[in-house]
Amino acid sequence: MNSKDIHEGLNFSAAEDESSFGIFSIKFSKDGRELVGNSNESICIYDLGANKVTERIHAHVQGT
């Protein structure tokens, strides 16, 4: 799959999270199979072939 062939939205939402996911930054892997995106809450690795998030790292958590 070529990353230039994607013409639909990618679902970055976690199963337990019904909110939308706004991407602030994105980077494609050298082979074009994955991308890394970050929002205000997490960093995600998205597998384009599997069409799903394969890793989610929670970040930018504010202390109480």
The predicted pLDDT at position 43 comes to: 86
Write the CA distances from 9 to 1, 51, 64, integer angstroms: 16, 10, 34
8-state DSSP, 62: P
Domain that holds residue 43: 23-58
- Report the C-alpha gap between 42 and 1 in whole angstroms: 25
50 domain-assigned: yes
Q: Can you give the pTM of this predicted structure? A: 0.64
Residues in Cβ contact with 15 at an 8 Å cutoff, skipping those fewer than 6 apart: none
47 domain-assigned: yes
64 domain-assigned: no
Condensed to tens digits (0 to 9), the pLDDT of residues 2-54 reads 556 656 667 666 666 555 556 678 899 999 899 998 877 788 899 988 988 89
Residue whose token pair is 């394969």: 54
36 domain-assigned: yes
5 domain-assigned: no
